[in-house]
Structure 1
């Protein structure tokens, strides 16, 4: 039975987390009456909307002057293809899956319905009714400001708005300053001596992947994978070799494997997720040196003491202090300073 548990522990923990989320997701707000909710929600988005400037020096088409008068089956099919599964339905209880897999007959009926709506410029009254779910965040539960509202709209209405958005984007261009409604971030045009410099979202420099969107976790993950590969190569001949003392094997880990994971760690800001990733990778290697597994339930601190290895995040913090002192001792004329 114990072996079955360890073989299925990933699935078991997924089930437990799912049950916990289901229990914590819905909280009854009995302490807040309906009048308080009504006043809070009526003033939530009551700020004045700024006037849209009429200056059009860049010859960008005014979106208000564009009319979407015709919707064909290709528009509906393309919008249906991009619908996500397992999304909450609105008051009509029509999920996205029902629209996506309804077949050609449903696409024809949706096309007729959407075309009629555009022609009459009026949507069904049922689509104007939504379901508001208030999610508790933190703080006092009798304070409406501590709740986040999620509105469940009709999936058919959202499908129509998606089709209209696609048609508008096909007929107009987005200003470079705008970041919303973009599939890719904007990039500036760089030139050097008359030559345009190619811009990419990711490249590898000195073996370290660098991204334009600052995905530091992905960079550290790649370093950790490389370190684990080296540890796998040394696993048989060195790390599990009983003819070599644990202290010597620990020194080999510190000299060969740890530098790969901690490369550039002196100048980066690690998150709790990155720290957990490196600690997990380090303990996997140290348990190989110690000849134990998680089932033995030996504390990590005890394994580190036996291998004479300092905890990796504490070691990184010490290295950062040394690097900071090194920079501080430099003269002000140095480029680094």
Structure 2
């Protein structure tokens, strides 16, 4: 989904609706009270969350995009746990009950994994030159500059307190960001 202004709002909405579509297809299993909640969580992680995060590794996400994804996911999780917001059950309790991590952490993991793949490519590769190339001597328009993917990656690296070298090493980056679920 490409927007004229280069933003990803429409893509985020599309991915959320794709997640709800998968939810409706699997609601027979997810809403069944006889199915254990851990199993529902595993099913959710393998069927619905990938539909919501498909292609998200190259999104320059703003906090409102992460918030939209998080709200949609928590609505789904509360629903199959049998709770509403009125029950005032904390998000952390729901995540613990179904054995999941927040979607913003998974989004960061996906983006850093993709960054490692891009960095390991040879310098002449199209994906590397297209993503990491900066155009110089271009007159910038008024207002705040658009958030770019590499700025999102730098923010993720800073938030996780890891260096680029750790991300380039496939085994070390998993330990650095504490990957506990698939």
Describe how 1:26-175 pairs up with structure 2 within 5 A: none
Is the CA contact (8 Å cut-off) linking 1:250 and 1:289 kept in structure 2? no
Write the distance in 2 (CA, Å) between the matches of 1:212 and 1:246: 42
Of the three residues 19, 40, 52, the one matched with 1:227 is 19
Write the distance in 1 (CA, Å) between the matches of 2:86 and 2:44: 23
Is the CA contact (8 Å cut-off) linking 2:22 and 2:51 kept in structure 1? no
Of the three residues 36, 48, 61, the one matched with 1:245 is 36
Write the distance in 2 (CA, Å) between the matches of 1:213 and 1:318: 27
By relative contact order (CA 8 Å, sep 6+), the higher-ranking structure is 2
Per-residue displacement from partner, 1:284-330 (whole Å, max 9, x unpaired)? 11112211111110001110111111100111101111111222222
Write the distance in 1 (CA, Å) between the matches of 2:7 and 2:118: 26
Determine the structure 1 residue equivalent to 2:138.
none
Q: Residue 272 of structure 1: CA displacement?
A: 1.6
Determine the structure 2 residue equivalent to 1:214.
6
TM, length-normalised to structure 2:
0.65
- Structure 1 position 334 matched with structure 2 position 120: no
Write the distance in 1 (CA, Å) between the matches of 2:99 and 2:8: 29
Is the CA contact (8 Å cut-off) linking 1:227 and 1:257 kept in structure 2? yes
Per-residue displacement from partner, 1:117-151 (whole Å, max 9, x unpaired)? xxxxxxxxxxxxxxxxxxxxxxxxxxxxxxxxxxx
TM, length-normalised to structure 1:
0.36
- Structure 1 position 255 matched with structure 2 position 46: yes
Per-residue displacement from partner, 1:212-248 (whole Å, max 9, x unpaired)? 222411221122112112212322x111123322112
Gaps of 5+ in 2: 129-182
Is the CA contact (8 Å cut-off) linking 2:31 and 2:79 kept in structure 1? yes
Higher-Rg structure is: 1
SS of corresponding position for 1:336: helix
Count of residue correspondences:
128
Of the three residues 88, 97, 100, the one matched with 1:297 is 88
SS of corresponding position for 1:244: coil
